[in-house]
Chains A and B, each alone.
Chain A
Amino acid sequence: MSRSSLHSRSARLLALALACLIAGTSATRAALDEELQVQAAYLYNFVKFCAWPDDAEGSPLVIGLIGGNPFGSALDELKGAVVKGRTIHVREIAGADAARHCHVLYVARPAHGRAVEVVSALGSLPVLTVSEAPGFARAGGVIEFAVVSDTVKFKVNVGAARRHSLKLSSQLLGVAIEVVKE
């Protein structure tokens, strides 16, 4: 087989496959970003391995999202899930005021700029603050996501957890790549 005949065959093959692909593109939806999927699964684990002062069976457990919901459908499975007898609710919230009624507060990317402001507005209220904003844990947030070696890890500020009257299990602290004492 000469080089040129191989090229023409390959061109035909490419054209055929291209046609198939274009034909098959109607039934599609964008894949979720893996990083956010992992973060969502972490949120579920954080709820399991954190104790709130108002922990009581039957009461709702609210995860608040500030700066929009970047998770898309990744959080759907969390909605209505029951952990320690508490049903999880997921809410998008606008500002620090609404955050006071959350158990978990996730500061999404559009709100990174005001992450520190939101955290300090919460004072010592029992809210588990979580964000991937760089430096979040050192700035007083409780849990900060960080991408290390192409995996999602997290840092914990145990001083901040104590300030918010949250009890984090040793399992959670054991997985953290860094424990900030504040």
Chain B
Amino acid sequence: MRTTQIILALALAGAAYAEKPAEKAPGGLMKLDMDQLSTVPLGNVYSASKAKQKAARAPATVTVITALDVRRYGWRNLADILRSVRGFYVTNDRNYSYVGVRGFGRPADYNSRVLVLIDNHRINDPIYGAAYVGNDGVLDVDLIDRVEVVRGPSSSLYGTGAFFAVVNIFTRTGAAMKTKELNGEVGHLGTHRGRVTLGHEFDDGSHALASFTGYGSDGARRLFFPEFAGINGGIAQDADRETYDSAFAKVEHKGFTLDYGQVKRDKTIPTASFGTVFNSNGSSTVDQLKFVHGRYDRELSPRTSLMAQAYANQSEYVGTYVNDPLGTGVPTDFVNNKDLSFGSWWVGNVQLTEQLSPRARLVVGAEYQKNQRVDQSNFDENPFVLRLDDRRKSFLWGAYTEAEVQLMRNLTFNAGVRYDFFSQSGETTNPRLALIATPRDGTVLKLLYGTAFRAPNNFELFYADGGISQKPAGVLKNESIATYEGVWEQQLTDGLRGTAAYYYYQMYDLVDQIIDPADGLIVFTNQDVIDAKGVELELAGRFPRGIEGRLSYALQRTRVRITDAELTNSPQNQAKANLSIPLADRKYFFSLDGQYVGGRLTAAGGRQGGYSVVNATLFSQKLLRSMDLSATVYNVFDRKFADLGGPEHVQEFIPQDGRNFRLKATTRF
């Protein structure tokens, strides 16, 4: 700890005292053509302070992904997007995708430690804290305008679950809604997808959009798992199918925005998770989410603006698990177990943003969430045996404020705090402090401190399956985290920006599964303190002729304090590379998207070697007048790699797809 502190301090001191470089030639952007100029980001972000501000002034480090990035890199879902983000990694168990950040990635946590927002409205549910990022995600990535990824704790603004990061997805807005599009895709493993999007601009300047997406995939026809070598030679046949359909609609009228989204995904489980029958292809999960969200923004005066939002979400999960209670292997002896949940909740949020003076801004807000139905049940179908019927209601409210004060021309202080009361797990207060300096043009230094919490969800508190495998915890404390961060952002040349960040966090009362030795049942308990630290380095470049790229490296070390052991599924090293090159007078973009995920400790105590994957996309925006075409080869070098299994898996490793492809055509009419 001490050494790293000294290094950080030296780095900051060096930055402050370093020789002033030769005056940067103004207007470096003059070298860019109009196409490029139209994609130069202005550097504004919203999600770090719930108010528009320059990313350089934000009390966190923020990565912004644009709609153009999504298209030219061939990203298929939010998981693909996040894989490219510095310090993020995704673990896929061929059913769900779990996001890891800063060395912390718990398979089976349903992303409850990353807050996912769509147009500033919370997606994570109260049952599992879940926000799905794979094909089960509620929003078609083609409808994304931009994604802001805010690192670090943000409970000071957002309350529960804004633990490691906030991912805010902004959908198309304004003139960008004014399109009519038809999109078709085919991919390997019998994958096909279609989308129709209809948008309109009315004479009074308001906009409306409706979009529908359908998807189907056979998945891997034969998946080999050596752990099940005794059954069908270890091959799971036709057990990787996936279908989804989703819809999204949005209306903007003056300051009002109303949006509706829904998704229903059905996935066959090939891994025989939770002790189910291997190679039965009858085990599956169906996940649904629906939401309606209204928002009103109004400038009450030139200095004061009001934001009011209200939304209602509904989630439904049906898991079908084929069990063989007698262990005969005879299909007539199999019993279907149904695992269900239903959630219905609504939220109201009001916020005032006041520019007190040119140098001071204040944000004040309050939020109320009513969890109308948080139901979990479990039963065997035939013969009928009810194992769980747990119905709950809960509520929470929070009040928050954040002040940004420019102490000197080049020094900004940002302080925020939020109080939360949750009917199930009590009250908590979480601050965030940031000191942001621009000692000279092109240099930004940030010192950040913040805490965050995650209220235990109802799955962790109350789930049980009648004494077969899991019993309820009943009472759990909030999980909490304290994070310290130092960030140095440096404009190196006109087009090249460097970021170096150091973080240290302590996590308390981690809610995780253990097996109670008294009865052999799984139960969630609050566990020991976790210490972690890491360094992240990134270069982002934008060069003449439209070449753009990012290169990042993350070094992360996690440690369970009491045992001094590293966390499982915590890669010590990660690297990402993204490069997009326009060809033939910008008719085509050739883009490479590569990730390296370093070695990870497995749940069984083994160590998995690192892997790297490279994806390549050829994208044409103007090949035909109104048609975009793209072709992507994923995992170009056909690397055999696997992600780690979770506690519900017999498998230590779950193999991922080898080389595969996708062709995509989008036409506007």
Within 8 A of A (CB), among B55-82: 64, 66-67
B5 touches A40 (CB 8 A): no
Give chain B nearest CB distance to A157 CB in angstroms: 16
Give chain A nearest CB distance to B367 CB in angstroms: 26
- Cβ-closest chain A residue relative to B64: A150
Q: A40 touches which one: B27, B41, B146, B531 (CB < 8 A)?
A: B27
Give chain A nearest CB distance to B492 CB in angstroms: 15
B42 within 8 Å of A by Cβ? yes
A38 to B38, CA, bound (A): 8
A178 touches B17 (CB 8 A): no
Within 8 A of A (CB), among B2-24: 5, 8-9, 12-13, 15-17, 20
A33 to B43, CA, bound (A): 10
- Cβ-closest chain B residue relative to A12: B5
B146 touches A150 (CB 8 A): yes
B32 within 8 Å of A by Cβ? yes
B515 within 8 Å of A by Cβ? no
A35 within 8 Å of B by Cβ? yes
B42 touches A31 (CB 8 A): no
Give chain B nearest CB distance to A112 CB in angstroms: 15
B25 touches A24 (CB 8 A): no
A7 to B294, CA, bound (A): 41
Q: A20 touches which one: B12, B35, B175 (CB < 8 A)?
A: B12
A55 within 8 Å of B by Cβ? no
Per-residue interface assignment for chain B, residues 22 to 56, with 1 indicating a CB less than 8 Å from any chain A CB and 0 otherwise: 00011101101111011111111000000000000
B639 within 8 Å of A by Cβ? no
A21 touches B176 (CB 8 A): no
- Cβ-closest chain A residue relative to B43: A34
- Among A71-79, A101-109, A114-122, the stretch that binds chain B is A71-79
Residues in B neighbouring A76, C-beta threshold 8 A: 26-27
Per-residue interface assignment for chain B, residues 473 to 489, with 1 indicating a CB less than 8 Å from any chain A CB and 0 otherwise: 00000000010101000
Give chain B nearest CB distance to A179 CB in angstroms: 12
A13 to B485, CA, bound (A): 11
A131 to B145, CA, bound (A): 25
Residues in A neighbouring B176, C-beta threshold 8 A: 148-149
Residues in B neighbouring A17, C-beta threshold 8 A: 8-9, 12-13, 435, 445, 447, 486
A21 and B29 in contact, given A150-B44, A152-B38 (Cβ under 8 angstroms): no
Within 8 A of A (CB), among B625-658: none
Residues in A neighbouring B1, C-beta threshold 8 A: 1, 9
B441 touches A28 (CB 8 A): yes
A21 and B41 in contact, given A1-B1, A77-B30, A149-B66 (Cβ under 8 angstroms): no
Q: Which 10 pairs between the two chains have the least Cβ-Cβ distance?
A: A24-B16, A24-B439, A41-B29, A77-B27, A21-B437, A20-B16, A175-B34, A73-B26, A20-B13, A17-B12
Q: A78-B27, A152-B38 are known contacts; what are 16 more A-B pairs with Cβ within 8 Å? A: A13-B9, A14-B449, A16-B13, A20-B15, A21-B16, A21-B411, A21-B439, A25-B439, A29-B440, A35-B42, A40-B27, A74-B26, A149-B173, A151-B39, A151-B40, A171-B34
